[in-house]
Structure 1
Amino acid sequence: MASDEERAALLVAGIARSLNERLVSLTADITSVLYAEIPDLRADRQLFDLLGASVEGNLDTIFHTLQHNIAPEDLDAPAAAMEYARRLAQHGVPVNALVRAYRLGQTNLLGLVFDELRAASVQPELSVPVLERIITVMSVYIDRVSQQVVAVYERERERWLAHRSSVRAVRVQEILAGNALPDAGAALGYVLQQSHLAAIFWSSDSDSGEMLARIESAAHDFANYVGGVTEPLFVAADRVTGWVWIPLGSRAHPERAQGEMCDFLERRHPGLVVALGAAAAGIDGFRQSHGQAQRARAVAIAAGQNAPAVTAYDEPGVSTVALLVEDLVATRAWVRGVLRGLAADNENSARLRETVRVYLAHNLSNVAAGKELDLHHNSVKYRVKRAAEVRGKDFTGDRLAVELALLVCQWLGPAVLTSD
């Protein structure tokens, strides 16, 4: 007959196994709580995905430690947790936000453990040993790992501050904040009284130690391609992101179209992504174009794999969609409410959405829509009728909402669609 200690160990393993089976959903829930409760973690939307990877890595380690009775004193922080700490340091996020994230995550995880314990109907005499084992493992692990990530944070913060161009970064931040000194342009070696095209370059590959150098090189290459009259101004935002201002002199537009820029980037610098503002003049234009590039970047990040290599703020639809990505959860719910069955993420629905989008853009003309889509007008008519059936209503009563929802789907794709 098994001893109480052996029975308790089996119960601990069962609880850990049950929680690990829900790893994806638990990760999403805890990540959302941390993002909502700790404002400093919202420094950059791109960091949200890395936060999720960090949470998932920590949960997975804790669950396996409990399930296989591993000593928590021997464990190290997951790679994603280490990288997240480095990235927070690069963005200047206070270290106490990182520590609080671990404490808040532990509190939420403990609540899940209590739920599992109640559901398992554990005998009263085993409740204390089971809880003691779980709480001990969690506490030792969190204490050990939080010390490790804080140490990584502090080393990275020192390295980052030591290696970045501090004078240039400070001057740029002063300009963006509206506090530029009269000689700001001279300090930067960049002419402010001209037309600027702001760009943000980044990569999802955080493994390469040479990534920032690669991004800066690509920024110079890209600037020359689109018609920069002198060398661009480059400032590192973090180890995989660069802020760039391309000097256009007196020109109001770059020399290349968005499609040409995409082809160039994919051919010469695969793996890098760019968001562009609209060209604007003077010191106000320096700030304005950068702000637009930030909003275009938010659209590209929300779109994920659906985003092109270059997302330009002045491309039709981008500025509108940029207003809706701040609250992607609400936008997703709204799109699904407007389009209903048409919001399904499959080829047939995508074909119907595109037909309706072109049909509405041509003021309900089957003939004009057919010419753009290379379809017979009767085929357009059939698809529009079928789309209305899938949606459950026609498109004339709330046409503006439908057109906007279709625009959001066109740019964000799976991020706002319903999985089959």
Structure 2
Amino acid sequence: MSDPETEMQGIAVLLAERHRELTNELVEAFRERIPELPTDPALVELLVGSSGANLETFVHLMRAHMQVKDVHAPVAAVEYARRLAQRGTPPSALLRAYRIGQQLILQWAHAQITRSIADPMLALQTAQMLTDQSFLYIDAVSEDVVEAYQEERERWLANRSAVQRETVDALLRGDRLDLAAAEAALGYRLRQHHLGLVVWTDPGAGDLTAVERTVGRIAERLDCAGQPLFVPRDRETAWAWLPTGRSSSLDLTGIDAVLAEDDGRVHVAVGSAGAGEPGFRSTHDGAAAAHGVAQLGQHPAAPALSYDDPTVRAAALLARDLPATRALVHRALGDLAEDTDGAARLRETLLAFVEERESYVATAARVHLHKNTVKYRVDRAIEARGKPLGEERLDLELALIACKWLAPEVLVRPSGG
């Protein structure tokens, strides 16, 4: 009289005989049902090898040629997992292939059991034993391939990150590079328009994974022409380039909207869009300059600092020589340069008044105050300055810009403070 173990070994013999046919069926199912898997011939060949090797190893387990504790992922399966890691294929796609493979083999095996075993109880016991074995096999093997995937992904990213940093640094230095080779190293097209970003978190909140997600959401919001280039610089700071295709005209208000969703945890400095290899450098230089301004000012005046803002460009120049800028601020503003909340309100209103061509109505609309309040603050600011508005007008504007972006670095402590 037969028993479940004997019947299962008979199924294993049939499985070995149909090995090639079933392998092809598995691979076809994977390609149809898991679109994330690479479809180029080299990777498909590896997928065939991995599927076939897994079937062969499972047959050995079914025939009691090995114990479950001795089951490990076949070499071909481990190599396929590593190659998926190099391609950036999500590990969920790899695990789904194992689940689908298990499902299809069980369906095939259960059909064989139904046809070949007349005794319902024996058929049920055989099917249960086969199902248990399949779960034990998948559990052991999937743990191996996921571990191989993670190790390779970490190694690959570390190596790729090093190559990317070296290539980016060479581009920013202006070294003569083969553009095709540089693009291959970066995984990013240089022959298009770019928007450079410097992105960072607050000290101690370093989570570059969150920063990278923010950059991705910004790219989506700006409808970019491809995936951004993201290059970590330290635990809290990264450089990024957004591919904008043929367009240099962008609505950057989308950046503020994305940052608002992050509740101020991520900060962005934005360069001016540029084209080609020179634009790759210039847009980064602008973002880096804006980032320098943001680092000096304790209270950034906007969610994202853009180098397209002429006051940010001026502040970046003023930041290069802080002692000279402090002297300019003190000379041009007098008591208006004090580091107090009251002086800050007066400076903000006076700068808006100057930029609005001394229109009380336009200034009131801009700063959301009544026109009489604007006039009162402007008069107070001029009094604190100790000079008429038109005297040393250029110095006045530069000093107010410096205070807006570089405070408190350029301000004077109040008397007795």
Do Structure 1 and Structure 2 share a fold, with TM-score over 0.5? yes
Determine the C-alpha separation between the residues in 1 that align with 2:366 and 2:359: 11
Determine the C-alpha separation between the residues in 2 that align with 1:305 and 1:378: 28
Contact 1:307 1:412 in 2 (8 A): no
Within 5 Å, which residues of 2 pair with 1:3-402? Answer: 165-179=161-175, 180-183=177-180, 184-206=182-204, 211-257=207-253, 260-268=254-262, 270-373=264-367, 377-402=371-396
Amino acid at match of 1:204: D
User: 1:348 offset after TM fit, Å?
Assistant: 2.4
Determine the C-alpha separation between the residues in 2 that align with 1:362 and 1:166: 48
Alignment CA distance shift 1:409-1:186 (3 Å):
same
Contact 1:300 1:307 in 2 (8 A): no
Contact 2:205 2:236 in 1 (8 A): no
Determine the C-alpha separation between the residues in 2 that align with 1:163 and 1:231: 20
Query: Cα deviations across residues 140-190 of structure 1 (Å, max 9, x unaligned)?
Result: xxxxxxxxxxxxxxxxxxx9x966612211111221122222321123221
Query: Cα deviations across residues 79-111 of structure 1 (Å, max 9, x unaligned)?
Result: xxxxxxxxxxxxxxxxxxxxxxxxxxxxxxxxx
Determine the C-alpha separation between the residues in 2 that align with 1:403 and 1:222: 33
Contact 1:272 1:309 in 2 (8 A): no
Query: Cα deviations across residues 336-378 of structure 1 (Å, max 9, x unaligned)?
Result: 2210111122232223223322332233344544454455555
What SS does structure 2 have at the residue aligned with 1:165? helix
Determine the C-alpha separation between the residues in 2 that align with 1:224 and 1:162: 26
**Runs of at least 5 residues in structure 1 that lack an aligned partner in the other structure:** 1-158
Contact 1:227 1:254 in 2 (8 A): no
Determine the C-alpha separation between the residues in 1 that align with 2:204 and 2:360: 48
**Match of residue 403, structure 1, among 397, 400, 410:** 397
Amino acid at match of 1:254: L
Contact 1:193 1:281 in 2 (8 A): yes
What SS does structure 2 have at the residue aligned with 1:206? coil
Determine the C-alpha separation between the residues in 1 that align with 2:201 and 2:348: 30
Q: Tell me the TM-score normalized by structure 2.
A: 0.57
Amino acid at match of 1:383: R
Query: Cα deviations across residues 264-283 of structure 1 (Å, max 9, x unaligned)?
Result: 21313642111110111111
Query: Cα deviations across residues 242-298 of structure 1 (Å, max 9, x unaligned)?
Result: 1101001111123432xx422321313642111110111111100110111110100
Amino acid at match of 2:223: G
Query: Cα deviations across residues 355-413 of structure 1 (Å, max 9, x unaligned)?
Result: 32233223334454445445555544443332222111211121111111112212223
Determine the C-alpha separation between the residues in 2 that align with 1:217 and 1:237: 16
Query: Cα deviations across residues 46-78 of structure 1 (Å, max 9, x unaligned)?
Result: xxxxxxxxxxxxxxxxxxxxxxxxxxxxxxxxx
Alignment CA distance shift 1:169-1:327 (3 Å):
same
Give the structure with higher Rg (CA): 2
Contact 1:366 1:380 in 2 (8 A): yes
Alignment CA distance shift 1:371-1:310 (3 Å):
closer
Alignment CA distance shift 1:268-1:378 (3 Å):
closer
Contact 1:227 1:255 in 2 (8 A): no
Contact 1:296 1:318 in 2 (8 A): yes
Determine the C-alpha separation between the residues in 1 that align with 2:345 and 2:263: 31
Determine the C-alpha separation between the residues in 2 that align with 1:385 and 1:206: 43
For residue 97 of structure 2, what is the aligned residue in structure 1?
none
Determine the C-alpha separation between the residues in 1 that align with 2:250 and 2:208: 24
Equivalenced residue count is 257
Query: Cα deviations across residues 216-249 of structure 1 (Å, max 9, x unaligned)?
Result: 2222222222222211011111122111010011
Determine the C-alpha separation between the residues in 1 that align with 2:378 and 2:297: 26
Determine the C-alpha separation between the residues in 1 that align with 2:369 and 2:232: 48
Determine the C-alpha separation between the residues in 2 that align with 1:401 and 1:357: 12
Indicate the percent of aligned positions where both proteins have the same amino acid.
Answer: 40
User: 1:199 offset after TM fit, Å?
Assistant: 0.5
Amino acid at match of 1:218: T
Alignment CA distance shift 1:196-1:269 (3 Å):
farther
Alignment CA distance shift 1:191-1:387 (3 Å):
same
What SS does structure 1 have at the residue aligned with 2:324? helix
Alignment CA distance shift 1:230-1:376 (3 Å):
closer
Q: Tell me the TM-score normalized by structure 1.
A: 0.56
Contact 2:328 2:395 in 1 (8 A): no
